[in-house]
Amino acid sequence: MTPSRRSLLALGAAGLGLLSGCANAPATPPPVIPAPPDTSALLASRLDEAATEILRESPERCTALGVSEERAGGRYIDRLSDSSKEGQRRYRAILQRALDDLARFDLGALPQHDRVTLAVVRTSFENSVANTAFEFGGGAGAPYVVTQLTGAYSDAPDFMDTQHPVRTAEEADAYLARLGEFVRQLDQETAILGEDARLGVVAPDFAIDRALEQLSAFVAVAPNQNVLVQSLHRRLPSIAELSDSARATYASRAESAVRDAIYPAYQRQIAALHEVRRGAVHDAGIWRLPRGDEMYAAALRSRTTTAMSPDEIHELGLTLIAQFNGEMDAILKAQGLRRGSVAQRVRQLSRRPNQLFPNTDSGRAQILADLNQQTREITALMPRAFNTLARAQMEIRRVPPTTEAGAPGGYYERATLDGSRPGAYYINLRDTGEWPRFTLPTLNYHEGVPGHHWQISIQQESGAIPFIRRALLGFSAFSEGWGLYAEQLADELGVYADNPLGRLGYLQSAAFRASRLVCDTGIHHKRWSREQAIQSMLEATGDLESSVATEIERYCVWPGQACSYMVGRQAINALRAEASTTLGARFDLKAFHDALLANGAVPLSVLGEIVRAWAQSQR
């Protein structure tokens, strides 16, 4: 029910009471006129309603967050989301209805914190509606339904292994039910592959080849050794209520589901990909798709929450690359590396034996141990930069070998709201040579503390942010901008004081994110080829070509996303400088950080308003 309808009902009830009075019967008590509805309460109610509608369409997100069935709008533990085009349209309609209702609220009747919430939610929903109006794949920001990075084949097995709980017989039953749901998702996406291809939307040939490689690797494993079977087998012993024979039955049913239903669905998708591969081209950008330029504009607007043009973003990247390369050059010269370009000298350093981990299981275990130690050390420094500290625990995991060929170098998975599952970030360890020792710390600070894990945990642990913002909305420019700012903050806290090569790794990471601005806009706006973009990033960063190729292929299928990092970082730094100028000696960096994180992820336009209001309050 919309606010206006609620108001009319309240006024109607009051009018009815007045008309029923009688002048000749003074003993009758006067009718009680209801108080006018509280606008803040109406907004909170409508946002809670929208949150439940969203969660009802997103069973995986319900599991990831660990929400109650009441909050989720019903049972979800045995369901997976609807991947069909009809499901996408239904989701978009939910957002549009909410936008129509939110437009009726009078900003002047809301307190400041509710005005912020209204601006945040409307921006998120408007961007999502604009993106998904392009009914290809997942919309403008992910236009291909199945690639090396997108598709149920990539997401669902890891979700089932790491997020679906198996603590009771009911949860084990739900696990088996979701295996059946997984088959439905695969077939829905296989149908979309053909439908989109008929509309002229086919992923680049290299993206399809990577996807085929990963799909084929999944079905090459014997069914009883598949991760979907082994995950259940590993966790069944913890269910005390089950007998040994019952556990064996569950494992047998999972193996049958994989062999008789899931593997055939994979094979159907492999066949469909081979079919569309015949019409694929090598052109990397979405400019070649129907309304491609419009799609890229929508993707950039959503990812950066700014009105920056592709040319402005491209030029910003070039300027920053020159700046970071200059700082890298000074460190390299101090290390005795003076000959060749910055990129050549970084590659030379990356090949030094003392910078390499063995490309073995023991070498991978050492990387994870080193990252955990660095996390403990940086966490101890957090009281120097924040008054509010995150409480959620974090784990560091390897990207599953079945998807590591096309996966990015690292990514974060948030903790449940109730703390039953810790946050985790994943590092791609397909080749340890892609992770020289001097590059590891900055990955840790970006994905973990004080980066994504720190920011998202504080957001989730806040009691002041409405649920829909705390748990459901995301803004890449803020979150990824914060992750990149966190790398800078670690440097400012002195973590590299005795580690110049570590600081070189931090600067290389910054140059890499600046290069993303150049390459993403180069691919999708300037019509660069995949190979042009790879060469550009190699020259800017000195990274290994295998790592760079994976990154560039990522930008080809997620247009605009790579621009969010550095655009966000630069916005945070600009607001920090502005607040410092405004407050002078009164500027407190810890209080500034608290103000940024206390409101959770927001669009950059709203972030500016928040920081300026905070600075004024400090005066």
Taking only the tens place, the pLDDT of each residue in 483-535 is 999 999 999 999 999 999 999 999 999 999 999 999 999 999 999 999 999 99
Domain range summary for the chain, segments of one domain joined by + = 1-36, 38-132, 152-288, 295-571
24 — pLDDT class (breaks 50, 70, 90): very low
Taking only the tens place, the pLDDT of each residue in 173-214 is 999 999 999 999 999 999 999 999 999 999 999 999 999 999
Look up tokens 């946002």; give the residue. 47
Give me the pLDDT at residue 37, please: 64
Taking only the tens place, the pLDDT of each residue in 301-322 is 999 999 999 999 999 999 999 9
Give me the pLDDT at residue 27, please: 53
418 — pLDDT class (breaks 50, 70, 90): confident
Which phi and psi angles does 423 have, rounded to 5°?
-70, 160
The enclosing H or E element of 394 equals strand 394-398
The enclosing H or E element of 410 equals strand 410-413
Are 210 and 150 contacting, i.e. CB atoms less than 8 angstroms apart?
no
Give the residue-averaged pLDDT of 340-358.
96
Give me the pLDDT at residue 619, please: 85
- Residue of 105, 100, 87 whose CA lies nearest to 126: 100
Taking only the tens place, the pLDDT of each residue in 142-158 is 999 999 999 999 999 99
Give the residue-averaged pLDDT of 547-555.
96
Helices (H), 66-204: 69-72, 85-102, 112-132, 152-162, 169-198
Give me the pLDDT at residue 28, please: 62
**Which one is predicted more confidently, 99 or 27?**
99
Whole-prediction pTM: 0.90
How many other C-beta atoms are found inside a 10 Å radius of the C-beta of residue 278? 9
Are 547 and 360 contacting, i.e. CB atoms less than 8 angstroms apart?
no
Helices (H), 278-419: 292-304, 310-334, 342-350, 361-379
Give me the pLDDT at residue 552, please: 98
How many residues are recorded in the chain?
619
